[in-house]
Amino acid sequence: MLELRPPRPEHTRALESLARRLWPLSTHPGGLGWQQATEDMPEPMVVAERDGAVVAWAGITGANAISAHTRITLEGASADPEAGAALLRWALEQSEGEVRLPVFHGDGALSDLAEEYGFVPEGTPETWMCRAAGEEEPTLPEGYTIRPVREGEEDARVECHRAAWKPATLPWPENVGPVDPALNSRFCREYYDNTRRSLLYDGELDLVVQAPDGSLAACCVVWFDARSATSEVEPLGVVPDHRRRGLAAALVLEACTLTFRRGGDRVFINTAPNDLYPAPARTYATVGYEVSERGHLYVRRG
């Protein structure tokens, strides 16, 4: 029996496990773990359960500063087309106007459903950046060190992330107007504790860069999935006083090394070149990360 229901706390691990089974026809399970830990999933959202087991899910992201159109995320149609159809009907009932639906390459069940319900493929690809894992030797300025976060550093780790992601201090291009200096990152100790409970979290892959004075200058989480032999780096941030010293590039190279040593072969970063925020993609490209197509957008006109 198939049922749609709002997500509950006990669905957290089930959704991460589902992503592992579906990959690459899904969000990377590490990235999904991060989204859930930081309460950044689409809203509203429902999960599809068949005989009590989670088989698919869908969520809706309304128009915002990044996109002028409603976006539906739907994962699991490839494994359970009936659940996919039920979820797409639910999502369309909640949506108005032009709607966009990303479809991963190879997800024929979802592309067929999209066309059945009036969507047409759009030329815009869905992209991120990736490169092969391998033994790398990151270059750091004198006195800086990459290492895993240590027990007892939890609060410092949270503050490092918050400082790195304060909106007004991010390296926006000149065409972006002033950002309210009062805005702060939503990241907090609760979100960090949630992160550490995620399915793929490994404390040895929760990396920080220690500055010469002992403070934390940068941080990232490498989410390695042995099932697919892939890692996703999400998120990565550098504290403003330590930017332009190669720390971000060093971290994503270290991610390649650590992934390779665990038997992995690819590392992904959920970013791509864009005019609104170009700095990350430019940095990763300097150390061999290339733009990779994940799928295409399908569009349903209002």
User: pLDDT (tens digit, 9 = 90+) per residue, 225-283?
Assistant: 999 999 999 999 999 999 999 999 999 999 999 999 999 999 999 999 888 888 999 99
Burial per residue of 132-163, b for 16 or more beta-carbon CB atoms within 10 angstroms, e otherwise: ebeebebebeeebebeebeeebeebbbbbbbb
Q: Are 181 and 28 in contact (CB under 8 A)?
A: no
User: pLDDT (tens digit, 9 = 90+) per residue, 158-201?
Assistant: 999 999 999 999 988 888 888 999 999 999 999 999 999 999 99
Residue 68 above 70 pLDDT? Answer: no
- On average, the pLDDT of the chain sits at 95
Q: Are 80 and 50 in contact (CB under 8 A)?
A: yes
Indicate yes or no: pTM above 0.85: yes
Q: What is the pLDDT of residue 276?
A: 83
Residue 302 above 80 pLDDT? Answer: no
- Report how far residue 190's alpha carbon sits from residue 37's, in angstroms, rounded to the nearest whole number: 9
User: pLDDT (tens digit, 9 = 90+) per residue, 114-154?
Assistant: 999 999 999 889 999 999 999 999 999 999 999 999 999 99
The amino acid at residue 89 is R
Q: What is the pLDDT of residue 284?
A: 97
- Report how far residue 199's alpha carbon sits from residue 12's, in angstroms, rounded to the nearest whole number: 9
Q: What is the pLDDT of residue 109?
A: 96
